[in-house]
Structure 1
Amino acid sequence: MEAPAWNKAELTVGEMARRSGVAVSALHFYERQGLIESRRTSGNQRRYKRAMLRRVALIRVAQRVGIPLSEIASAMDNLPNGRTPTREDWEQLSMRWRDELDERIKRLQQLRDDFTDCIGCGCLSLTCCALANTHDQLGEHGPGPRVLLEDAEPSCADT
């Protein structure tokens, strides 16, 4: 298939799918969720402004790092609909997610570093749990893997 002309103002749903790398069904879903928009031709065919490619790219990247669609939609509501978003628009959006992404990175690093030796205490099933969670004191903080959910106690690797 031929790529859409670089100077084409609007893309068909097929062109949008090919150019963005997103399935047509995903584009329809994003549209139903209010993340992107199109206009309909007299023949009821969708036409997307070329600027929607940037929105789809942002959606894909945000989803890839685990940002829920509801948060993506909320962020998209703050972006301009009538023009192509500027660098400043994208920087503002990035700053909005920075703290959450930093926290997610911290948790992923903790999971990577501690998961082999300790599942976060809450089970007392691994040999080192008696060292990191003596007398199940983390049970006082609530159910589940407390070490991996909050900074309650050191992991087995720290003991």
Structure 2
Amino acid sequence: VYVPNPLAEKAWNTIMESGAPHGIKPAGLAARDTLRLEMGFCLYGNDIDDTTSPLEAGLGWITKFTKDFTNSSALKAQKEKGVERKLVAFELLERGIPRHGNTIVDEVGNVVGRVTSGTMSPSLQKPIGMAYVPKAMAAVGSDLRVDVRGKVLQGRVVELPFVKNA
């Protein structure tokens, strides 16, 4: 909803009063971010950007490979060859909250991936996130190691959406 600044307070009050019988409550960006992550929706700048392809992000289903578009030949070649990394959903099996920029490490501590989004899910009561990992680590049920503030925590790749029947 866009309104001129002088009308913002009145618009807010009208919306809140009209919604009161329906249980309306204000929600900020953190709530929106948690809800979109629980559904597995990508956030531009975190989960997808100009360095990721729709195929890596699991968004090939919205790409029309029958049409030409900017960089379509490279994307079609990637579809034929396969991707080297994939965006996966994961849950932590230990206490900790994954955050954007945390790393995914292998058994000896080498960085093999990066967390793009993460939070403590109030709906699931557990830490969840999304990360780019090598294709070999992307299968549902695969174990992950997430470095959260210098502590390596155990995680597992899970199916999206995190919250079913929402």
TM-score class, shorter: under 0.3
Between Structure 1 and Structure 2, which shows a larger proportion of strand residues? Answer: 2
Between Structure 1 and Structure 2, which shows a larger proportion of helix residues? Answer: 1
Q: What TM-score comes out, normalization by structure 2 length?
A: 0.21
Task: Say which one has the larger Rg.
Answer: 1
Q: What TM-score comes out, normalization by structure 1 length?
A: 0.22
